[in-house]
Each structure stands twice: as structure tokens, then as C-alpha cells.
Amino acid sequence: MSSAAELPVEVPKVTGTAPVPCRMCGQPLRDPMSRRWGLGRDCRRKLRMRLAPAPEQHEVEQDALPGL
């Protein structure tokens, strides 16, 4: 059997948090806000530009519920 002194030991670097990739581009997220959203700053900006305008409000015709 070999002793523990002969085995190469590599200690992984621990950063405290697991890497979180951007859901849109896959880049690693470093900013706490980006990690919370799951999107980097640039990708959040891109999505804001592609938001559709809110639909107009309109009245919906409905039949009365029976028994009320």
C-alpha cells in the first residue's frame, strides 16, 4: 500500500458560491443582482428592448351566472 505522503493532493479552490451561468448567453454571472435574475446586465438590457407594449384595457361581455 502507498502512504498518503506519496499521493498528489490537489485542493480545489472554494469561492463560496456555485457558478451561475446566464440563461441567455451562458456567461458566468458575478454580480449578485445578475445571479438573482439569472441574466447578465447586457442580456437584461436586450430583453427590455424586446418587451411588447401592454395591451389596451377593454370591457368583456359576459353572461350573468345562473342563481345570482
Does 12 fall in a domain?
A: no
pLDDT tens across 2-48, in order? 555 566 666 555 566 788 999 999 999 988 888 888 888 898 888 87
Domain membership of residue 23 (yes or no) is yes
In a domain, 58, yes or no: no
How many domains is the chain partitioned into structurally?
1
* pLDDT of 17: 74
- Residue 59 forms part of a structural domain: no
* Average of per-residue pLDDT across 39-65: 81
Asked whether residue 53 is assigned to any structural domain, the reply reads: no
More confident residue, 51 or 42: 42
Give the contacts of 13 (CB within 8 A, at least 6 positions apart): none
* Per-residue model confidence (pLDDT) at position 28: 94
What are the CA-CA distances from residue 48 to residues 5, 9, 13, 16, 39 (Å)? 57, 48, 36, 31, 12
Q: Is residue 36 part of a domain?
A: yes
Domain residue limits at 39 = 18-45
Q: Please determine, for residue 62, whether its predicted confidence score (pLDDT) is greater than 80.
A: yes
